[in-house]
Amino acid sequence: MYDLVIHDGELVSPLGVRTGDVAIDGERIACIGSGLVGRQMIDASGKYVFPGVIDAHTHMNLPVAGTCSSDTWETGTRAASCGGVTTLVDFTVGHPGVTIPEAIDRRLAEMDRLVIDVALHGEVIGWKPGQEDEFREAIERGVTSFKFFTAYEASGRRTPPAVMVRAMEALQRWNAVAVVHAEDEALITSIEAGFTAEDRARMSSLADARPALCEQSAIQQVGRIARETGCRTHIVHVSSAAGLEAVREAKQRGADISAETCPQYLLLSRAAYERVEGHLYSASPALRTPADNDSLWEGLRTQSLDFVATDHCPFTREQKTWSGDYARLPYGLPGVETLLPLVFSEGVVAGRLALTDIPRLLSAGPARCHGLASRKGALEPGQDADVVVFDPESTWRLSSDVLHMNTDFSPYEGLEITGRVDITVARGEVVYRGGETMGAAGRGRFVAR
């Protein structure tokens, strides 16, 4: 007899759907079959059973613009579990003068109240050629992906192309992944130099300062470096049709490159900046056009984009108080809890995606890209028992009032949603069920990759 059996659900994989049972012993999936019996039984009749969602781009407890993202490790991982997310990949907080291994150790010291499992990307800030051993030491600690910025030079985060080449040559030797925030710093600077005070007082100027060309140009350059170095490279938060085309072009020319997009770039447009509270939508890259939304959905459908992540970086209304300048805001939006419901409702229910795209885009894709596939991302024996029971018929109105993220607004406030997480199982333990959070703080673990 198994410890737990989720029975008679519609088991969804990237290859198809079948009615069956998922049997769990301890923290692992023991068997996929039918008629299985467990000490604890969960009836999933009429519901979809997905592998646990992996959100491979989040920012918990992150210092930003003189404040800090409003979700702690505890509140953020708890909210994630309510949305069917069972694993996060967050980031170290890089600083010039702090080595990447030191930044990893500092971040790990904070992560003592996790509700679900978390892996880390290492931020590359202030790195110089000659410091290649930092990558090796980080990999030995289980961090195998490293974040670069092609923008934000004023804050010291930008990595110049010549330095990126040297870093990516080193990463290629260890089969590590370069994760890149791709925006053209020179283009942004030149546009902003022409802004008047009146321009800066308009929230829509954020989109004017960071046009789609800005993203496309940076991805093209990174794609060339990826091709020349042979380094596995991942582009985060692709926001535009032009950026998507640059990813496709890089792939066609032989770069080992993958890419993600986010719900905000699938569902929102720059029209949000014209709302009364348009400043709440401050994030980078900027929001684009409905035509860009459509292109990104098509990129997911045709596998030009590899998965969806959230770039979850929440703030409260107070933290985003408008001071009269679009650049004097913390950038980031909440989303870790709404990833699965939004992609299901606006993707599958709306006819933009197939049901089998859900595990491909939210579980298997990020697991494969970021070195988690040996234990996460699939409903298979031997995998961690990360499972979501999802009610496809439940309808609800999305509102920050019914969510668990530590913020008082949602970018999707009032949206009618079809489909809702019923039960989340993380490493064999029910951590969310029917509106009740059940996972204890501290049960989540750091995942070495």
Give residues with Cβ within 8 angstroms of 414, minimum separation 6: 397, 398, 399
Q: Which of 32, 50, 21 is nearest to 357 (CA)?
A: 50
From CA 27, how far away is CA 433, in angstroms rounded?
18
CATH code, domain carrying 266:
3.20.20.140
Residue 408 falls inside a structural domain:
no
Q: Which of 445, 423, 327 is nearest to 24 (CA)?
A: 423
Q: Domain of 179? A: 52-369
Residue 21 falls inside a structural domain:
no
Mean pLDDT of 183-209: 98
pLDDT score, position 44: 98
pLDDT score, position 54: 99
Mean pLDDT of 22-49: 98
Residue 343 falls inside a structural domain:
yes
User: What are the angstrom distances between the C-alpha of 188 and each of 208, 211, 224, 245, 247?
Assistant: 9, 8, 21, 20, 20
Residue 14 falls inside a structural domain:
no
Helix, coil or strand: residue 200: helix
Residue 447 falls inside a structural domain:
no
Position 279 confidence tier, pLDDT thresholds 50, 70, 90: very high
> Could you report the per-residue pLDDT of 233-275, keeping only the tens digit for each?
999 999 999 999 999 999 999 999 999 999 999 999 999 999 9
User: What are the angstrom distances between the C-alpha of 318 and each of 39, 76, 150, 407, 445?
Assistant: 48, 19, 30, 10, 32
Residue 169 falls inside a structural domain:
yes
Angle at 160 between CA 157 and CA 165, to 5 degrees: 120
- Cβ pair 349, 396 in contact under 8 A: no
Q: What is the mean pLDDT of the chain?
A: 98
Residue 46 falls inside a structural domain:
no
pLDDT score, position 65: 83
Q: What is the DSSP string of 362-418?
A: IIIHHHHHTT-TTTSSS--TTSB--EEEEEEEEEEE--GGG--SSSS--TTTT-EEE
> Could you report the per-residue pLDDT of 100-151, keeping only the tens digit for each?
999 999 999 999 999 999 999 999 999 999 999 999 999 999 999 999 999 9
Q: Give me the sign of the Cα torsion angle 352, 355, 54, 168.
A: negative
- Cβ pair 447, 119 in contact under 8 A: yes
Residue 296 falls inside a structural domain:
yes
Please state the φ and ψ torsions of residue 256, each to the nearest 5 degrees: -85, 80
Mean pLDDT of 2-8: 98
Position 34 confidence tier, pLDDT thresholds 50, 70, 90: very high
The count of domains in the chain is 1
> Could you report the per-residue pLDDT of 320-349, keeping only the tens digit for each?
999 999 999 999 999 999 999 999 999 999
Mean pLDDT of 5-30: 98
- Cβ pair 181, 237 in contact under 8 A: yes
